[in-house]
Amino acid sequence: MPMRHVPERTCIACRLTKPKREMTRVVRGVDGSVAVDPTGKKSGRGAYVCRTALCWEQSLKKRALDRALKTEIDAPTRARLEEHARLQLDASPRAGARYEVEHESTTV
């Protein structure tokens, strides 16, 4: 059987390319609201972030998410995204270790 195409996306924080299903999509809806899109199918401008604490921290702290979505994220929405990241990372404790191993292999 032929290999099936796996869509890839680039993390806005670390700029690594990974399969779409391993990333979290954040979307700015038509009404301007910013939210996490667990299905990856909501309409609007989307940005992808790795499921690691460092990537979520960088995307929010350095305003990479604001630039990628071409909007200003307000404080309550930013707090909701931080809470989502914290809950998501608590559910997958090995994500941070995988991130460090990937970055060690890419640095020279």
The pLDDT tens digits for 49-91 are 999 999 999 999 999 999 999 999 999 999 999 999 999 888 7
* pTM for the structure as a whole: 0.81
Per CATH, domain 8-102 is 3.30.1230.10: yes
Q: Give the tens place of pLDDT for each residue, 19-43.
A: 999 999 999 999 999 999 999 999 9
What is the spatial distance between Cα 34 and Cα 93, in angstroms, rounded to a whole number? 26
- Domain extents for the chain? 8-102
Report the half-sphere exposure of 37 (CA within 13 A, side-chain side): 21
Instruction: Return the closest-CA partner of residue 68 out of 76, 58, 79.
Output: 58
What is the spatial distance between Cα 79 and Cα 64, in angstroms, rounded to a whole number? 15
How far lies 28's CA from each of 32, 47, 76, 91, 100, in Å? 6, 9, 15, 25, 29
Q: Which of 4-13, 45-54, 97-106 comes out lowest in average pLDDT?
A: 97-106
